[in-house]
Amino acid sequence: MVTHDGLDQNRRMDTPVETREAALQRYLATGDCHDAPRWAGASFLEAARNAAAFLREGLVTETLARLAARPVPVLPLKGDLAPWVRRKVSPMVEGLFPATERPVVLALLKRSVVFVGPGNIEAVLRSGLWPHTAWSLANMVLAAADCEPLSEDGTACVGLSEETTCFVSQAYFAEEDPFADFVVHEAAHVFHNCKRATIGLAATRRREWLLDIDFHRRETFAYACEAYSCILALGDTPARRLLALQQHAQGPLPGDSVVDVDEYLDILGEAVRARNGWKCILRRCAPARQPKAIPAEVSADASIQPFGRAPLLP
């Protein structure tokens, strides 16, 4: 017996939505591939795999063609950057984690940061990324190499994260803003994307992730860690750190659509005055704790009055 749902599914599989070339051009222009699995394959799973492979191959081909058309070759990335990454993120890890956990977290971040440029973009694009992440990375590399981007929407991206991998553009090394550090920014996102048990740290129901960051303040946390890292590098005394913060407050700053700028600057103001500014940033970006519920037997006791008032006389 064939159900109506089965007929509808078969009809959707048989109905051409767009040609393969049209789907590829839509993906290259926008990064959108949501409808692509409907136009190839005998089953939904096979269609999804075929579509993903076709779109991924088209993205690789187009990206390499645009890079090859660049008249001046791009300098290759430096050699082993892992020790440099470790030194870059060490102050943040030391400020946020106890001594017993720091080696494990540093080892995670050292292998998590991946610098992306023309020399390794093909391997990165073929590494099983989500389709939109792959598209964003292709745009990022093309923009850094001064090539025609796939879309203007992706040209401002210098770093992005997928799960525990932090991709950073080769343009990082040409950044002139003294308060920008995309390595620290993307590494800060790993703390709310990675579970403690994944890297062998003790976990509880209340301590599941490396750091407990409020969902709506994840970008605030990453931007604050990024700026605070730069402030520490610029100022070795509280007075100099405060001066650096005042300079940063003059701009450029993260956009209002990304963070609450007033809150962001207030968090940094508290951090530069504290002995451990990293802990201030974490505390300000942590989820609000729910107050403990009053036990039923206490709340139901009529002899206990709110606000400490004496019980009314009969």
Q: Is the pLDDT of residue 298 over 60?
A: no
Task: Identify the band that residue 59 occupies on the pLDDT scale cut at 50, 70 and 90.
Answer: very high
Distances from the Cα of 60 to the Cα of 141, 159, 210, angstroms: 12, 19, 34
pLDDT digits (tens, 9 = 90+) for 162-191: 888 999 888 888 888 999 999 999 999 999
pLDDT of residue 2: 45
pLDDT of residue 155: 55
Task: Identify the band that residue 37 occupies on the pLDDT scale cut at 50, 70 and 90.
Answer: low
pLDDT of residue 136: 92
- The H or E element that residue 166 is part of is strand 165-169
- The segment with the largest mean pLDDT, out of 45-59, 74-88, 144-158, 236-250, is 236-250
* 80 contacts: CB under 8 Å, gap ≥ 6: none
Residue 132 is encoded by which pair of tokens?
A: 């939109």
Please answer whether residues 169 and 141 qualify as being in contact, where contact means their C-beta atoms are separated by less than 8 angstroms: yes
Task: Identify the band that residue 154 occupies on the pLDDT scale cut at 50, 70 and 90.
Answer: low
- The H or E element that residue 50 is part of is helix 44-68
Quick check: helix, strand or coil at residue 117? Answer: coil
Domain ranges of the chain: 4-68, 82-285
Q: CA 181, CA 229: separation in Å to the nearest integer?
A: 8
Task: Identify the band that residue 214 occupies on the pLDDT scale cut at 50, 70 and 90.
Answer: very high
Q: Mean pLDDT, to the nearest integer, of 49-56?
A: 88
